[in-house]
Amino acid sequence: MDLSELQRDNTGRCRLSSPVPELCRQEPCALGVDEAGRGPVLGPMVYAICYCPVSRLGDLEALKVADSKTLSESERERLFEKMEKDRHFVGWALDVLSPNLISTSMLGRVKYNLNSLSHDTAAGLIQHALDQGVNVTQVFVDTVGPPDTYQQRLQQRFPGVEITVKAKADALYPVVSAASICAKVARDQAVKSWRFLEDLDHLDVDYGSGYPNDPKTKEWLRKQVEPVFGFPQFVRFSWRTAQSILEKEAQDVVWEDSVEEQEGARSITSYFSQSPCARPRLAHRFFLERGLEPASSL
C-alpha cells in the first residue's frame, strides 16, 4: 500500500484507492464500510470501503476475509495482498484521518465531533466509489453512534442504494470485513512508518498499542509531554487521556475567549464615566486606533 502521500503531509487527511475493476462498473456491487483506529490516543484513524460484484461475494468470502478482528497483523497483510491480486473483481478506497485533523476538529471553536467526522468520511468514500462509476447497489456499514439516525442519513444521501447499518457488520458481511482489513493494514502501516514532524531526539517509538488503557502508551505519553507544546502531533490532543496529562504536566495557556467566560459582568455604575478630572487624558486616536501607548517601563 503506497502511503507516500501521507509521508509527505501527515497533518491532514489523505485518500488512497485501488483502480476500479471493469466488472464493478457493469455488475451490481455490494460495498462495505469500516474503520480502524477509532479508539487509540495515538496515530490516524482510517476509514475504508471495499466493493465487489454481488455475484462474486462467494469468491470474496473464499479469500477467508473472516471477521478481521480474529486475524493477526501479518494475516491481514497477506489477505490484503491476495485482494490486490484479485483486483479484477475487488476494489477498495480509504481515507487516512491524521491525529492532527481529529484533534483540531474536536477542539475547534465550532466543535466537529468524532461521530460526525466518521459519518462524513464514510459518506465521502461511498460517494467517491459512485463518482468513479462503481455500480453500487448495496452498502453495509458498521454502526457508529445510534444506528437508526446513521442509517437514515445515509439512505437520504444515497436514495438509490440499499443501505444496511448494523452492529458487528464486519462479522456478518464479507465486504465489511474486507474493508476492515484494508483499514487496519493502512493504519498499521501508517503507525509503523509515522514521520514525526517534530525533530525529537532519542525518540523511543515503543508506545505500545496506542490504546488509552495500555500502560506502555500512557507511560510514553507522560515521557513525551512538553510543557509548552504538549505532545507531538502523532497524539490526539482531544483524547481525555492526553488532556488529563496536559492538565497535570503542561503550562496553562490563556486564550482571549477563555477569559471572557470567566470575567463576570461589570457593575452598571462602572459604565458611568468618572468625573472628567479623574479620567486620565486619553492618547490621541492615532495611537488608540493602533493599540499604541507610551511605555512607562520595560
Which residues are at the interface with another protein (CB under 8 A)?
Answer: 197-200, 226-229, 232, 251-256, 259, 280-281, 283-287, 290-298
Whichever of 74 and 279 has its CB closer to another protein, that residue is 279
Whichever of 259 and 268 has its CB closer to another protein, that residue is 259
User: Minimum Å distance from CB 238 to another protein?
Assistant: 17
Q: Which three cell numbers stand for residue 64?
A: 477467508
For residues 90 and 159, what is the distance between their CA atoms, to the nearest angstrom?
24
CA 53, 59, 62, 64 dihedral sign is: negative
User: Minimum Å distance from CB 296 to another protein?
Assistant: 6
Rg (CA), the chain: 26
CA 57, 62, 68, 73 dihedral sign is: negative
User: Minimum Å distance from CB 232 to another protein?
Assistant: 8
Burial degree of 25 (CB within 10 A; 0-12, 13-18, 19+)? middle
Whichever of 81 and 198 has its CB closer to another protein, that residue is 198
User: Minimum Å distance from CB 216 to another protein?
Assistant: 23
User: Minimum Å distance from CB 245 to another protein?
Assistant: 16
Whichever of 11 and 149 has its CB closer to another protein, that residue is 11
Q: Which three cell numbers stand for residue 183?
A: 483499514
For residues 197 and 103, what is the distance between their CA atoms, to the nearest angstrom?
16
User: Minimum Å distance from CB 227 to another protein?
Assistant: 8
Burial degree of 98 (CB within 10 A; 0-12, 13-18, 19+)? buried
**CA count, 13 A, side-chain hemisphere, 12:** 5
Whichever of 2 and 263 has its CB closer to another protein, that residue is 263
Whichever of 206 and 256 has its CB closer to another protein, that residue is 256
- Cα diameter, the chain: 91
